[in-house]
Amino acid sequence: MTGNPYQDDRGNKDASIVNPHGAGSIPLRRDHGDAHPAPGGPFLVGQGMTGGYGKGPDILHDCTVAVERGEIAVIVGPNGAGKSTAMKAVFGMLNLRGGHVRLDGEDITALSPQARVVKGMGFVPQTSNIFTSMTVEENLEMGAFIRTDDFSDTMTQVYDLFPILKEKRRQPAGELSGGQRQQVAVGRALMTRPKVLMLDEPTAGVSPIVMDELFDRIIEVAQTGIPILMVEQNARQALEIADKGYVLVQGRNAYSGTGKDLLADPDVRKSFLGG
C-alpha cells in the first residue's frame, strides 16, 4: 500500500461515534504480497456478465462491476435493477452465460463460491447474513471456518473494530439491533482475512446515525488494505465515500465513474439521487 487515500475528506467527523481506538493499522487482510499482480486490470472484476437464475431469463446484460486495490466501489440503482444479482454473480452463485470474473489477475469464473472464499473473497449477502440463534462469538467462529490456523488475533481485531460486539459476544446475534447485526455480518466475513470484501446493502434498515457509523467502519476496513465492493440504497452517502461508482438499471450499466463524477452528473442526480 502506498499512502492513505482515505485520510481527509471522507467519513463522518463526529468524534462521539468514531471508534476511539482507530483501526488504521489492523492487519485484517491476508498478506498476499505481490506474487500475482493483476496485469493492469482491476483487483476484482465481473466483466461483461450476462446471466440469470436457473433456466430463467437473463437478469444481467453485459454488466461490469469492479474494484481496484485500496479502493471502495459502490453499486447503486433502483430496486430490482440487479445489484444483488451482480454481487451473487461475482461470488459465483449464478451460472454466467457470458462474461467472466477475475480476482487479482486470475480467472475464477468457473470456481464455486466456497473456492472463491479460499481465494480471498469475503461476501456479506443482503439477507440471512448471520446465524441468529448463535452467539456473536459463535458467528465469528463460523466465519473462520476455512482457517486451520489460530484465528484469535483476527477475532481481537474484529472486536477492536466493533467494540460493541465484544460486549455482546455471549448474546444470541438475533437479540442485537439492526446495525449491530450488520457489524456481526461484516465481522464474520473479516474472520477469513479476505483480500477483498463484498457487502450487499450493509446499512439496510438502520438509522442515519448508525449508517454514518457503519460507513466509518467500512472506510476503516478499506484503510487496512481490503478493497470493498458494495451495494448501497443510500446512494448519495455511499457515492460520497466511493472511489468508483456504478449505476445499474435493468441489469445494465447505466452510468459509471468516480463517486464525485456521479454525484455531479445532472442526469444521475435527477434520476437516482432525488435531484
Name the residues that contact ligand ADP, by CB under 6 A: 53, 56, 59, 77, 79-85
Burial (Cβ within 10 Å: 0-12, 13-18, ≥19) of residue 78: middle
Residue 84 touches Mg ion, criterion: CB under 5 A = yes
Which residue reads 448519495 in cell numbers? Answer: 236
- Residue 201: all three cell numbers together: 446493502
Q: Which does 56 bind (CB under 5 to 8 A by kind): Mg ion, ligand ADP, none?
A: ligand ADP
- By beta-carbon proximity to ligand ADP, the closer residue of 73 and 191 is 73
Q: How far apart are CA 14 and CA 9, in angstroms?
A: 13
CB of 87 to Mg ion, least distance (A): 8
Q: How far apart are CA 139 and CA 151, in angstroms?
A: 13
Residue 274 near residue 44 (C-beta atoms within 8 A): no
Q: Which does 140 bind (CB under 5 to 8 A by kind): Mg ion, ligand ADP, none?
A: none
Question: Of 160, 157, 155, 161, which Cα lies nearest the Cα of 139?
Answer: 155
- By beta-carbon proximity to ligand ADP, the closer residue of 59 and 218 is 59
Q: Which does 203 bind (CB under 5 to 8 A by kind): Mg ion, ligand ADP, none?
A: none
Residues 124-163, interacting with Mg ion (CB under 5 A):
126
Number of H helices, E strands in the chain: 10, 10
Residue 203 touches Mg ion, criterion: CB under 5 A = no
Residues written for the chain: 275
Q: Which does 85 bind (CB under 5 to 8 A by kind): Mg ion, ligand ADP, none?
A: ligand ADP
The residues of the shown chain that bind Mg ion, judged by CB under 5 A, are 83-84, 126
